[in-house]
Amino acid sequence: MPRNPLPRFNAILFGLSGCLVDFGARTLPVALGRLLPNCPAGRLAEACALPADAALAHALAAPATTAQRELFEQHLQQAALEHSETVTDLEQLAEPKAFQGVPCAWLDELPPKTCANLATPLPAWLPGSSPVAGRPWPAPDQCWQALSSLGVDRLAGCVVVSASPRLLQAGLNAGLWTIGLATSGVLCGKAPSDWHALDSTERDRLRAVATLELYRLGAHSVIDHLGELGPCLVDLAVRRQKGEKP
């Protein structure tokens, strides 16, 4: 007997920094490091797990002044231009046919001009979502708004793909399937050259720590990079066919 076709996904939302572009999610830490070169490494790492405004305040250990915020935004925009290269495996997503015409979009919580600089090399079929007023991640508001902008009228079969724990948590809170990326985001935090300069033992250690953290968060699946996304989506489709829900 012929097998039933696998269920189709209704939309895929991608993170921007650390997912589609900017391997290692370096834009925020580079900007903070340039603004505050004497910030202790531990405090800087804590700050980079927060949204940009909160990250600045945390790194300063005080509310930012208007002048500090303006200079910080300049550093963010410059860092974004420097880190706007696409991740190695993005070309495997170059044809929307790979997702059977599933609508896709990216979203991020960096300031709009910074996001625009990062998104410069992305193809036209992969637009950004421009959220209106709403709660920041991990609240689900921006995920729901992004799906609405794509004309998606139901949550079933919608997926978030990201290396950001906060965006993945937002996807979970929105009732979406979630796929974490272990090596390209803030959890490993290494620029491509630094990542490849590590010996295999250290890369494996960082990969394992990031993978475990994303699974502990509740991600439905965790892969190393976007090159593994196709088989991962097939696996999720099989799980959906068996009746599993996010």
The pTM for the full model equals: 0.94
- Render pLDDT for 137-153 as a digit per residue (tens, 0 to 9): 999 999 999 999 999 98
Q: Which domains does the chain have, with CATH numbers?
A: 11-25+86-241 (3.40.50.1000), 27-82 (no CATH)
For residues 157-190, one letter each, b for 16 or more C-beta atoms within 10 angstroms of the residue's C-beta and e for the rest, the string is: bbbbbbbbbbbbbbbbbbebbbbbbbbbbbbbbb
> How many other C-beta atoms can be found within 10 angstroms of the C-beta atom of residue 5?
8
DSSP of 6-31 = PPPP-EEEEETBTTTBSTT--HHHHH
Residue with more model confidence, 164 or 91: 164
pLDDT per residue as tens digits for the range 201-243: 999 999 999 999 999 999 999 999 888 898 899 999 999 999 9
